[in-house]
């Protein structure tokens, strides 16, 4: 693995197929999945495999997040750890900047969520992989691989559950009208909607225009996701999360 020097620390210069984010309590399960991916020809980033012993790890983690073509966040019996929250935020910010960047939640055996509605709000809208029945679930493994690299997959019908992203437009509008006009413009821009595409005539009109434009462009999920990340208190107050 190649590294360069950055700010006195060595950082990664290789690319990875997927960054694996996990709670330390789930290391054994994630290690098994990482080895399966490796055996299938993928190059996963797993901190235990790829970080340099004795070196500051934060710069390497940041570089690995940027240099991975997908992001997988694993949810086990202990839920999501604090480091995972930071990694997830960085990955979702990238997803909303780069359309098509995969952010993949993975439920491990023993995880507590009973269905997608109990996943963290940021993740509930993503297509998720369900290994709660066991890591040997081949259907879910193939779905995971297809999420990492869709171009290698042929259309296949799987028995596992599918996540269907749902955006309640009334709740979204209720949240947006609580923002200032420039906040609405900012949300639009990071979602991929230019200022020129928004109608300016009061906060409510801007909000309605933003939602309508996002729906036309197929960006409602991204718009709501950006709202959750950038203005979490507003999202909670409006009943989105």
- Does a structural domain hold residue 162? no
Bridge partner residues of 20 (DSSP): 72
Cα separation, 199 vs 40, whole angstroms: 50
Does residue 178 share a domain with residue 209?
A: yes
Domain-terminating residue out of 91, 117, 152: 152
Does residue 18 share a domain with residue 137?
A: yes
Domain-terminating residue out of 152, 183, 214: 152
Can you give the residue range of the structural domain that contains 47?
3-152
* Residue-wise pLDDT tens digits, 29-77: 999 999 999 998 999 998 888 676 655 566 677 888 889 999 999 999 9
The whole-model pTM stands at 0.57
The dihedrals phi and psi of 73, each to the nearest 5 degrees, come to: -115, 125
Does residue 96 share a domain with residue 135?
A: yes
- Provide the pLDDT for residue 18: 95
- Does a structural domain hold residue 218? yes
Cα separation, 179 vs 181, whole angstroms: 7
Of residues 156 and 151, which shows the higher confidence score?
151
Domain-terminating residue out of 96, 118, 152: 152
- Does a structural domain hold residue 164? no
Please report, for residues 11, 57, 211, 225, the alpha-carbon distance to residue 7 in angstroms, rounded to integers and kept in the order given: 9, 13, 43, 33
């Amino acid at each position: 693995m190649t590294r360069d020097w950055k700010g006195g620390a060595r950082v990664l210069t290789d690319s990875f197929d997927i960054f694996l984010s996990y709670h330390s309590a789930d290391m054994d399960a994630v290690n098994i999945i990482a080895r399966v991916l490796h055996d299938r020809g993928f190059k996963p980033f797993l901190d235990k495999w790829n970080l340099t012993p004795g070196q500051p790890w934060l710069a390497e983690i940041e570089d690995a997040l940027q240099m991975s073509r997908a992001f997988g966040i694993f949810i086990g019996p202990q839920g999501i750890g604090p480091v995972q929250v930071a990694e997830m935020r960085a990955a979702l910010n990238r997803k909303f900047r780069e359309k098509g960047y995969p952010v993949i939640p993975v439920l491990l055996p023993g995880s507590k969520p009973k269905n997608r509605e109990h996943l963290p709000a940021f993740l509930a809208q993503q297509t998720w992989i369900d290994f709660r029945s066991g890591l040997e679930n081949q259907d879910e493994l193939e779905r995971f691989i297809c999420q990492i690299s869709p171009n290698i997959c042929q259309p296949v019908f799987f028995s596992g559950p599918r996540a269907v992203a749902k955006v309640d437009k009334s709740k979204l509008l209720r949240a947006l009208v609580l923002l200032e006009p420039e906040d609405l413009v900012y949300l639009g821009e990071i979602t991929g909607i230019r200022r020129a595409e928004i109608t300016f005539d009061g906060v409510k009109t801007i909000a309605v225009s933003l939602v309508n434009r996002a729906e036309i462009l197929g960006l409602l999920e991204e718009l709501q996701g950006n709202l959750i990340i950038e203005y979490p208190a507003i999202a909670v107050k409006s009943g989105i999360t």
